[in-house]
Structure 1
Amino acid sequence: MSLSMQQRGNVFLVAVACLLAVGICLPFSGHDLQRTTQIVLSLGAVLYGVSAGSSERLLDRPSAYGLVAIVGLGLVSSALAHQPLWAFTEVALFIGGGAIAVAFALLRRHGGERMDRALVLIAMLLCLVKSFQYLYAAALAFTSGNDVLNLDHLLSGFSNKRFYGQFQTFTLPLLALPLLLPGVARALRAGVFALLCVWWLIAISGGSRGTWLGLAVAAVVLTVLGAWGRRWVAWQLAALCGGLALYWLLFVGLAGYLGIEVGSGAGDRLTTSLSGRGPIWSQAWQMIVERPWLGFGPMHFADITNDTAAHPHQAVLQWASEWGVLSALCVAALVWRAGWATFRVVRARALSVAGEDLLRLCLFAALIGALVQSMVDGVIVMPNSQVWLALVVGWLMALHAWRTPLGTALPWVGDAWKIATLLAVGLLLFIAARDLPHTIEDQADYLRAGHDHLQPRFWAQGVIAFPRQ
């Protein structure tokens, strides 16, 4: 690999770290800023992918055909949609996510294990910053003299605490990697475990049941994947107990001693209610019944007004109602193929202590958790979650051990992909340039029109059921 390729990879990795930090660590960060950083990251990924000029194949033929079918069906559905431009924008987001995944895969292929260490370090630093922000906010709350402490006010950087929970679903599994690696210094291991305990404290106090459910299912799956999988589960359970102990000390013991009433506590979330999802799931189902094959068009759940949300908080219902049942079946088949192939590799290397095998285990846990959470939450909608999903998928693609070599890609396939990604990012940049100057005004107009909350989709005000001024 030439020095110039190394430099391009390093520049791209630094840009990724900075964009992720801007998207979640700034106090004023939120949905629109995260969407903007996602678009910029997609542009960087496309430029890096084009400059890499790699002839490597990352997918086998059935997977490539499946992706072509998904994009093709999405384009047809978009052309027939009520608002084609918004539908094509959603397809562009999908292609942009693919560009990010490919860029991460190429980055790891060219950079080797050095990039693995960089990934984990970036995740740890982001979680460390968010943990300091949380603990600092808690300290201010305890010393403010107020009689009431709302735990939701301790969370920052996200428009909704569920979006924070989605970020934790991706990062909690990765934070356990240094605890699994042999030869890690005891002091570093203790520091990482303390960070993991605080990260679990935030996950508990945030009250995102989707995160709890996703990681519980991931733990069950990893339990059957050998000794290292069970060790991952043991570390997570130990950190969960540490997080619960911290929660009790801070928000039960200390709050009670100071006479502070705690609002939005974790105990309030221990319910089986759907939290208003019933009506939007029903709406998505009615859309499927009405237009089963090609759907209403990508993003077009947001084209039908309701009082709850601009997406159904359920990945299968969303995809089938918007892109159509045929596309949803293609997506399900690809997810199953990829998941099963990764499961077999992880199980075959269950006794390996190699860093890349342990990283694959953690990435697989993050992917399982995110997929499970997407059944009850908008993981495939929120910009930060889309970026992390692309990151995890791209890294798993790079680490995957194929039973037979894939060979080199056909030149016309690579050229077609580059053209598609350039067109997709161009459309995303156009939408951003068109909308960003007046997003605040649009949100104010939407709230003045009698709506009591924003409904995020592409932007924080994601409803497209009325023409933009």
Structure 2
Amino acid sequence: MTLSSYSWTVFITFTCVFFLGTVFASDFAYFTGVNNEYDLKRFLVLGFIWLASLGACFVKNLELFTFSRATIAVGFIFLILAIVSACFGLNPFWSMVELVNFGLLAVAFYLFAICARSINRATLCSSIYAGALLFSIMTLSKYMLFLFFSYADSQSFDIHGLLSGYVNVRFFNQLQVMVIPLLLLAFFTENLVKFKRVTVAIVAMHWMVLLQTEARGAMLSLIFITVLLWWFVDVNARKRLMLTLLQTLFLGICLWLVFIILIPYWLMDTTTFQLRTGSSGRLDLWLYVLNAMPESLWLGFGPMSFTWAEGKPLPHAHPHNAMMQLLYEYGVVSAMVCIAWGGSRIYQRLRYVQQTKDLMLIPIVYALLSGLCYSQFSGVVVMPFAQLLLVFLLALQMPSQTRSIVNIGIRERLGVFFSVTILSGLILTTYQHDALRSALFPRIWLNGLLGY
């Protein structure tokens, strides 16, 4: 198998997996007998990584990126500290399960990066746009159908009532903050210009959904990253970016007022809109993390340890903030190293966008940064599809960077495949584990809490 054929196979499989776990999640969960869509997504992610690593064994002349010494050093330091933290934590087994999951995502990152490098950039961006557009059309069509059914039955709806395929609407919002920027490829890619009008309509509907689901963190993330990019792109790109944001946001507000506020009020004499000004308990969780940190300052309490933390103000399995999660579970040293390295890489990437004036790169960077920004308000780094999509966007940053390339032998590829098989099997053994409490607070699985 050639590298090009393998790359397209991986991306097509990724798209199919993504659609099975989102648009067709309810039907596929019923077909497979999985109890819920969240666990189904975890199974699909594990299956995709396993298949991708299996396919890599049959590729001729497979090449792999090597990284800078600084990146390798940061990765090595984090890995050593994470293993030590896991060994000294209260539940070493579950800490290792968390690290195994991240290890599998690292394999997915490498494979995505290899595949992205072998495909023409314009063709790849067009394919990504097509996938994002099709996903949006199918999801929003179902959303509007449920909305019209609620009109016909004169039934009110809450923030979860119009979306299917997700245990919690926030899991869809996590995908939205990365999909919406990818739709903007129509404004920054020459061969996609003809799709501008349909893109405006689709993005406006996404804004309507964000408003209806009261996804404040998602909207703030998209707006904040737009303003951040405004400082690093040229004048023409600024105009495109800001005009698109303002135009779609205005249309989205209009759609929200008509379909979510006025029509329900006219038909049912009621509206579900509430102006929420609180933090939904997030500030309490973050304060809990900061107050608990002195007890295990340097190494943290161990990966995944927030799931069994005592005295939490809310029974969530994660603190809804990637940095706080890093601090609590991995300690100050790992957190500072990762934050410093990540911050420097983000700045370098923004400078690269500024210097190269590569317009197609803007939506890709926008999507990645929006996902990272929203991870400070939601569990983007915890949920299976949000994790995989974030890894995919991170891998797309690699092809434009100059790195030395090394060939991967068949022994190494077989070693990776067998490792992925063993590690995937380890995670699968934890499904419906006796140690997991029967509470719907997701982490690795939907029942993500452990007994104290």
Q: After the TM superposition, which residues 285-364 of structure 1 pair with which residues of structure 2 at under 5 Å, given as runs?
A: 285-305=290-310, 306=312, 307-350=314-357, 357-364=358-365
Secondary structure in structure 1 of the residue aligned to 2:157 = strand
Structure 2 CA distance for partners of 1:100 and 1:27, relative to 1, 3 Å: closer
Deviation at 1:44, TM superposition (A): 3.0
**Aligned equivalents of 1:6, 1:368: Cα separation in 2:** 28
Aligned to 1:455: 441
Deviation at 1:107, TM superposition (A): 0.7
Q: After the TM superposition, which residues 176-191 of structure 1 pair with which residues of structure 2 at under 5 Å, given as runs?
A: 176-184=184-192, 186=194, 188-191=195-198
**Aligned equivalents of 1:421, 1:326: Cα separation in 2:** 32
**Aligned equivalents of 1:231, 1:254: Cα separation in 2:** 33
Letter aligned with residue 288 of structure 2: Q
* Aligned match for 2:172, one of 157, 164, 175: 164
Letter aligned with residue 144 of structure 1: D
Answer yes or no: is 1:84 the counterpart of 2:76: no
Long gaps (5+) in structure 1: 351-356, 448-453
Secondary structure in structure 1 of the residue aligned to 2:399 = helix
Aligned to 2:225: 218
Structure 2 CA distance for partners of 1:173 and 1:418, relative to 1, 3 Å: farther
Aligned to 1:175: 183
Aligned to 2:47: 40
Structure 2 CA distance for partners of 1:418 and 1:231, relative to 1, 3 Å: farther
Structure 2 CA distance for partners of 1:237 and 1:47, relative to 1, 3 Å: farther
State whether residues 101 and 395 of structure 1, in contact with CA within 8 Å, keep that contact through their aligned partners in structure 2: no
**Aligned equivalents of 2:94, 2:219: Cα separation in 1:** 33
Deviation at 1:141, TM superposition (A): 0.7
Answer yes or no: is 1:149 the counterpart of 2:150: no
**Aligned equivalents of 1:423, 1:342: Cα separation in 2:** 32
Secondary structure in structure 2 of the residue aligned to 1:358 = coil
CA distances 1:206-252 after superposition (whole Å, capped 9, x unpaired) = 11111011111111112112221441232122111111111111122
Deviation at 1:300, TM superposition (A): 0.7
Aligned to 1:407: 404
**Aligned equivalents of 1:278, 1:199: Cα separation in 2:** 27
Letter aligned with residue 331 of structure 1: C
State whether residues 149 and 260 of structure 1, in contact with CA within 8 Å, keep that contact through their aligned partners in structure 2: no
Over the matched positions of the two proteins, sequence identity in percent amounts to: 22
**Aligned equivalents of 2:334, 2:22: Cα separation in 1:** 32
Structure 2 CA distance for partners of 1:392 and 1:229, relative to 1, 3 Å: farther
Q: After the TM superposition, which residues 38-437 of structure 1 pair with which residues of structure 2 at under 5 Å, given as runs?
A: 38-49=45-56, 51-52=58-59, 54-113=62-121, 114-146=123-155, 148-184=156-192, 186=194, 188-224=195-231, 225-226=233-234, 227-263=236-272, 265=273, 267-269=274-276, 271=277, 273-305=278-310, 306=312, 307-350=314-357, 357-400=358-401, 402=402, 406-409=403-406, 419=415, 422-423=418-419, 426-432=422-428, 434-436=429-431
State whether residues 39 and 425 of structure 1, in contact with CA within 8 Å, keep that contact through their aligned partners in structure 2: no
Q: TM-score, normalising length from structure 1?
A: 0.86
State whether residues 150 and 262 of structure 1, in contact with CA within 8 Å, keep that contact through their aligned partners in structure 2: no
Letter aligned with residue 326 of structure 1: V
State whether residues 3 and 115 of structure 2, in contact with CA within 8 Å, keep that contact through their aligned partners in structure 1: no
Structure 1 window deviating more from structure 2 (284-293 vs 158-167): it is 284-293
Answer yes or no: is 1:464 the counterpart of 2:441: no
Letter aligned with residue 20 of structure 1: F
**Aligned equivalents of 2:151, 2:7: Cα separation in 1:** 45
> RMSD of the alignment, in Å?
2.5
Answer yes or no: is 1:20 the counterpart of 2:18: yes
**Aligned equivalents of 2:391, 2:184: Cα separation in 1:** 20
**Aligned equivalents of 2:379, 2:7: Cα separation in 1:** 31
Secondary structure in structure 2 of the residue aligned to 1:231 = helix
**Aligned equivalents of 2:159, 2:271: Cα separation in 1:** 7
State whether residues 97 and 387 of structure 1, in contact with CA within 8 Å, keep that contact through their aligned partners in structure 2: yes
Aligned to 2:32: none
State whether residues 4 and 115 of structure 2, in contact with CA within 8 Å, keep that contact through their aligned partners in structure 1: no
Q: TM-score, normalising length from structure 2?
A: 0.89
CA distances 1:416-457 after superposition (whole Å, capped 9, x unpaired) = 89857853552232321x244x47x998x725xxxxxx2111
Letter aligned with residue 107 of structure 2: A
**Aligned equivalents of 1:141, 1:151: Cα separation in 2:** 13
Structure 2 CA distance for partners of 1:111 and 1:140, relative to 1, 3 Å: same
Aligned to 1:11: 9
**Aligned equivalents of 1:100, 1:111: Cα separation in 2:** 17
Q: How many aligned positions are there?
A: 437
Deviation at 1:331, TM superposition (A): 1.4
State whether residues 81 and 334 of structure 2, in contact with CA within 8 Å, keep that contact through their aligned partners in structure 1: yes
State whether residues 297 and 323 of structure 1, in contact with CA within 8 Å, keep that contact through their aligned partners in structure 2: yes
State whether residues 64 and 110 of structure 2, in contact with CA within 8 Å, keep that contact through their aligned partners in structure 1: no
Structure 1 window deviating more from structure 2 (422-431 vs 67-76): it is 422-431
CA distances 1:80-137 after superposition (whole Å, capped 9, x unpaired) = 2221121111111212222112111111111223233222211221111111111111
